């Protein structure tokens, strides 16, 4: 079924392939800074971008995404769960108000207190959000710190909370890959021929709002297990690389 959908997708004129990074192009690793795309995925991306609009859409800060993904020239980066774009500047066209800046600082301080003295848990600061990471913590510590974050600062007025695999992200602005994908599609269409169809592949629960914005001519691919809005599923980054290689062949 997926091969048929890919063939129909590839036969269209201008199309956009949007991909999460962690768990899609790169296997999930304990140290996020060590994540890299598989060689097969990197090679397929380099071929695909020659004929197709390609974007990486990630929760990572855009500079962190660029450093880990080392994307080929022409690949657009959308970071910070849709709040950053390499086409629109570091903040994706947004600027924090003084109130939002204050909220972001208070969120960081609150998470610092939650993780203080807990092994394997750390706080990451992004331009628009702060993130609690628990992947390397013991399971009781991961559960406890996650619960404290969700029951505490995640409930404050003005906070936009996302829960993903081993992360809780708290934003001072609205977060969501779906919004980032919609804005990217509109921007590309406004700068040339309209994007006729979009393919989005993601593995995390935070990718579900990306699948939610897809239309009837678009293709959603869930990587791994779990409930999903996506119409198709593959098992691993290895299968994602094979999918991208097939698309590159079809688009050539």
Determine the pLDDT at residue 83: 87
In the set 3, 20, 31, 112, the catalytic residue is 20
| 183 & 139 share domain | no
* DSSP percent split of the chain into helix, strand, coil, nearest 5: 40, 20, 40
Say which CATH number the domain at 146 has.
3.30.70.1020
Q: Which residue has the tokens 């959908």?
A: 5
Place of tokens 């657009």: 76
Identify whether residues 189 and 164 lie together within a single domain: no
Looking at the fold, whether 185 and 203 belong to one and the same domain comes out as yes
Higher pLDDT, residue 174 or 73: 73
Asked whether residue 113 falls in the same domain as residue 74, the answer is: no
Domain co-membership, 162 together with 186: no
Higher pLDDT, 9 or 91: 9
Mean pLDDT to the nearest integer, 227-249: 97
State residue 55 phi and psi, 5-degree precision.
Answer: -140, 145
**192 and 162 in a common domain:** no
- Taking a C-beta distance cutoff of 8 angstroms, is the pair 142, 54 a contact? no
pLDDT higher than threshold 90 for residue 230: yes
Q: What's the CATH code of the domain at 58?
A: 3.40.50.1000
pLDDT at 218 over 90: yes
Q: Say yes or no to pLDDT of 93 above 80.
A: no
Per-residue pLDDT band at 223 (split at 50, 70, 90): very high
159 and 198 housed in the same domain: no
User: With contact defined as beta carbons under 8 Å apart, do 129 and 81 qualify?
Assistant: yes
Q: Are residues 63 and 186 in the same domain?
A: yes
- How does DSSP classify residue 71? P
Q: Return the pLDDT at 90.
A: 45
From 171, 203, 235, give the residue that closes a domain.
171
Burial letters 132-143, b for 16+ CB under 10 A, else e: bbbbebeeebbe
Shared-domain flag, residues 12 and 80: yes
Nearest to 184 by CA among 175, 173, 195, 174: 195
Is the pLDDT at 94 greater than 70, yes or no? Answer: no
Among 2-6, 10-14, 27-31, which stretch is predicted with the lowest mean pLDDT?
Answer: 27-31
Q: Is residue 92 over pLDDT 60? A: no
Check whether residue 147 and residue 49 sit in a common domain.
no
pLDDT greater than 60 at residue 35: yes
C-alpha of 202 from chain center: 7
Task: Note down the domain range covering 147.
Answer: 98-171
Q: Do residues 15 and 80 share a domain?
A: yes
Check: CB of residue 123 under 8 Å from CB of residue 115: yes
pLDDT of 145-204, one tens digit each?
A: 999 999 999 999 999 999 988 999 999 988 889 989 999 999 999 888 999 999 999 999
Mean pLDDT for 22-27 is: 97
Predicted pLDDT at 89: 55
CA angle centred on 159, ends 153 and 162, rounded to 5°: 85
Angle at 230 between CA 82 and CA 246, to 5 degrees: 90
Query: Does one domain contain both 182 and 78?
Result: yes
3-class secondary structure per residue, 162-226: EEECCEEEEECCCCCHHHHHHHHHHHHHHCCCCCCEEEEEECCHHHHHHHHCCCCCCEEEEECCC
The model's confidence at residue 91, banded by pLDDT at 50, 70 and 90, is very low
Q: What is the pLDDT of residues 36-45, one digit of tens each?
A: 999 999 999 9
> Of 171, 190, 222, which residue sits at a domain end?
171
Helix (H) or strand (E) holding 124: strand 122-125
Residue 97 near residue 80, CB atoms below 8 Å: no
Q: Which residues contact 209 (CB under 8 A, 6 or more apart)?
A: 176, 177, 178, 179
Task: Provide the mean pLDDT of the chain.
Answer: 94
20 included as an active-site residue: yes
- How many domains does the structure of the chain reveal? 2
Considering 150, 171, 192, which residue would you say is the last residue of a domain? 171
Compute and round to an integer the Cα radius of gyration of the chain. Answer: 18
């Amino acid at each position: 079924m997926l091969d048929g959908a890919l063939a129909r997708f590839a036969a269209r004129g201008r199309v956009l392939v949007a991909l999460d990074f962690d768990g899609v192009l790169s296997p999930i690793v304990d140290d996020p800074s060590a994540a890299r795309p598989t060689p097969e995925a990197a090679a397929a991306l380099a071929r695909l971008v020659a004929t197709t609009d390609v974007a990486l859409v990630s929760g990572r800060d855009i500079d962190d995404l660029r450093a880990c993904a080392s994307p080929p020239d022409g690949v657009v980066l959308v970071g910070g769960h849709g709040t950053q774009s390499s086409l629109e500047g570091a903040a994706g066209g947004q600027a924090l108000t003084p109130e939002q800046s204050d909220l972001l600082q208070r969120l960081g301080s609150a998470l610092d207190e939650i993780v203080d003295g807990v092994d394997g848990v750390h706080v990451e600061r992004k331009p628009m959000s702060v993130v609690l990471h628990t992947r390397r913590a013991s399971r009781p510590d991961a559960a406890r710190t996650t619960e404290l974050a969700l029951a505490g600062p995640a409930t404050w007025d003005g906070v936009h909370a996302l829960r993903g695999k081993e992360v809780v992200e708290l934003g001072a602005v609205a977060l969501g890959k779906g919004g980032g994908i919609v804005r990217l599609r509109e921007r590309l269409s406004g700068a040339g021929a309209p994007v006729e169809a979009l393919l989005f592949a993601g593995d995390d629960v935070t990718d579900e709002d990306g699948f939610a914005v897809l239309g009837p001519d678009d293709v959603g691919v869930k990587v791994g297990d779990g409930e999903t809005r996506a119409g198709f599923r593959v098992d691993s980054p290895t299968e994602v690389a094979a999918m991208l290689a097939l698309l590159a062949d079809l688009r050539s």
